[in-house]
Structure 1
Amino acid sequence: MKIEKIVKVPTGEIYVAEGEKGRLEFLTVGDYGKDANIKADFLGITRELNGVPNGEPMPLSEKWVITISTQYGCSMNCKFCDVPKVGAGRNATYNDLKEQVLTAIRQHPEVKRTKRLNIHFARMGEPTWNKDVLTFGLQLPIWVRNYLGDSLIHPVISTMLPKANNNLRNFLREWCLIKNIAYKGDAGLQFSINSTDDKQRDYLFSGNSLSLDEIAEIGCELPMPKGRKYALNFALADDSIIDGKRLRELFDPEKFMCKITPLHRTASCEQNGIATTDGYELFTPYKAVEEDLKANGFDVIVFVPSYDEDNGLITCGNAILSGKLPTSKYEIVTL
């Protein structure tokens, strides 16, 4: 895989490279650490997040996050995401998936081992359309071992649960087996929910996601997770409808946890008037939702990025290939 350019931002590097079907985008992120930008009472991290200051990421030898694309573009057309601007979703090949991870690792030959390598299938595309994600996810340790030895690998799939994907249930069941057996629980699965109101969800996901009842049916079919619970993710907008009681009726808190984030400030969010007002400065937008979800039995993580993370476009929903550039300090290296 030939790198076309590297966009260096304060918390990582975004790569644009030539894949087997065209240009792909993936990135390396240095993590601040859980004590910096999450609140999770069940983990003993109980202070409120009134903004997360820009800071120095941990060394990659402590924690390394590589986020890769599973498709060239995306056809989900979510109202909050810039990736559909890149084009319709076409599946990346197995070799594309492998080379994104290995190319990112090769850029840092000084790192021989890391305490935790997170591989997020979450840059461009809806991963459940691409069956090669399952094969590659299973074989990922084989490829990484040559570079990072026995480093702990934690792959995570994030899905918008496309209603047109007739293979969705099979894909998710197989991924859960990979999580529970091959990784002994050290892998993740995240459902992007964003609202418990189906009309609001139809708008946000342009009618392309299953209803909440249909998602809950799938959730019931999945095996109990080993390790971290499956995550129900809520990117919180000012008008988000999130009803903890309804969620509790549909999803088992022993199987599912909840994650709350601000909506990242993508071009699509700006165009569609979707925002989390004060979400980067105050805990206020999250407080009532967090309390409601906890009162209904859910473990809750509130994750707030710094301005450097969001303005550097390393957060979900962004894509350099969509034509947007960082508004934080950045450097472009052309190769």
Structure 2
Amino acid sequence: MNMSEPGCGVAPSSDARAPARGGSGVEVLRVTGEPEVAEVAVLRFRGDDRYCVETVDGLAPPQPRARKWIVNVSTQFGCPVGCPFCDAAQAYAGNPTAEELLCQVRWALARHPEHVGTCGKLKVHFARMGEPSFNDAVLEAIARLPEEIPTPGLWACVATVAPRGRDAWFARLREVKERSFRGRFQLQFSVQSTSPADRARLTPIAHWSLGEIAAYGARFHASGDRKVVLNFALACGVEFDPAVVASRFDPAHFAVKITPVNPTARGAEAGFRTVLRSERADAVAAARDALLARGFDVVLSVGESGEDRIGSNCGQAVRVARPAVRPAPIS
């Protein structure tokens, strides 16, 4: 489905297979998915296949859009991190501008204008393709969101692997949150494992230790805020020790989210299998109970089967839309 988006200058196309073109340099290459779960758009900027992103117009079933609406924004063209289970690790082509980030938001909002001002919780996730902290424009885009979407239901969310060398970015993120999103901001660290060796393999760039994440998160979380989320996408053979989590993190500031490793082409190539849909699922339940006993809020988020069926996991839509651009090899 292509439609007019005045904020981005995207015009509707008469051919559903053809890109919708607009004067501001953004094209809608394709939109796929299921409206009752999520629809993923591949947007091309600057008239060049290198500058493609995925943007998701999603729901949180069974909640209706009027109650909760989730817009996922890509923060980079491709991703330089290279996680071995993620299809976004394709040829990296740099960063979108703040305007290109907001254009993704406008694309989703223009599809359901009747809900923009009245949605109970409209969450803009900077959590699709790319590592948000590698793009300074993400901070500008977050700061501009309240003006773009003047509604009390607006939330902003950032998911990050906590790269080293970006301390100034994270300090500014806290400032933006304090200024514009107190009580309406969700910060998630993609931790993946409690083992340093496993974390190095799963997130193959220099990143903060668990202790550094704990120190920053405790500063970031203020009274009335959502707790900082520690996300573990658990794969078979990857260490997850609730005792390590409890020894490093304070449940007053942190919650734990356990998710599956979603099926992707790179994940299959590397032999990843998710724990949550395996014979070890009972062990995850035991770990959850151990964390609950230590005072942590714990969420087992398996997700909708439709998300796997429609190929809405990170990087999959761009991989299909531009097959000539090959993913990075798995080392």
Check whether TM > 0.5: yes
CA RMSD of aligned residues (A): 2.4
Identify the residue that residue 102 of structure 1 maps to in structure 2. Answer: 106
Identify the residue that residue 58 of structure 2 maps to in structure 1. Answer: 29
Identify the residue that residue 13 of structure 1 maps to in structure 2. Answer: 39
Separation of aligned partners in 1, 2:65 and 2:214: 37
Moved more, 89-98 or 211-220: 211-220
Instruction: Assess if the C-alpha contact under 8 Å between 1:24 and 1:69 holds in 2.
Output: yes
Identify the residue that residue 72 of structure 2 maps to in structure 1. Answer: 67
Q: Report the Cα offset of residue 248 of structure 1.
A: 2.2
Separation of aligned partners in 2, 1:83 and 1:24: 9
**Length, aligned pairs only:** 292
Identify the residue that residue 256 of structure 1 maps to in structure 2. Answer: 254
Separation of aligned partners in 2, 1:278 and 1:298: 19
Separation of aligned partners in 1, 2:152 and 2:265: 36
Identify the residue that residue 114 of structure 1 maps to in structure 2. Answer: 119
Deviations 1:189-238 (A, max 9, x none): 00000111001111111244333334334335435353210001111112
Separation of aligned partners in 2, 1:107 and 1:94: 21
TM-score by length of 1: 0.80
Identify the residue that residue 27 of structure 2 maps to in structure 1. Answer: 2
Separation of aligned partners in 2, 1:205 and 1:311: 26
TM-score by length of 2: 0.81
Q: 1:65 to 1:301 in 2, by over 3 A?
A: same
Given candidates 298, 319, 323, the residue that maps to 2:320 is 323
Q: 1:277 to 1:248 in 2, by over 3 A?
A: closer
Q: Report the Cα offset of residue 111 of structure 1.
A: 3.1
Identical-residue share of aligned pairs (%): 30
Deviations 1:95-144 (A, max 9, x none): 10110001111122343531111111111100001111111111102112
- Give the letter for the 2:155 counterpart: H
- Give the letter for the 2:123 counterpart: N
Identify the residue that residue 195 of structure 2 maps to in structure 1. Answer: 197
Identify the residue that residue 273 of structure 1 maps to in structure 2. Answer: 271
Moved more, 13-22 or 190-199: 13-22
Identify the residue that residue 296 of structure 2 maps to in structure 1. Answer: 298
Identify the residue that residue 82 of structure 1 maps to in structure 2. Answer: 87
Instruction: Assess if the C-alpha contact under 8 Å between 1:201 and 1:207 holds in 2.
Output: no
Gaps of 5+ in 2: 1-25, 323-331
Gaps of 5+ in 1: 34-57, 326-335
Deviations 1:226-271 (A, max 9, x none): 3210001111112231222222222221111111111111112111
Q: Report the Cα offset of residue 294 of structure 1.
A: 1.9
Separation of aligned partners in 1, 2:278 and 2:114: 34
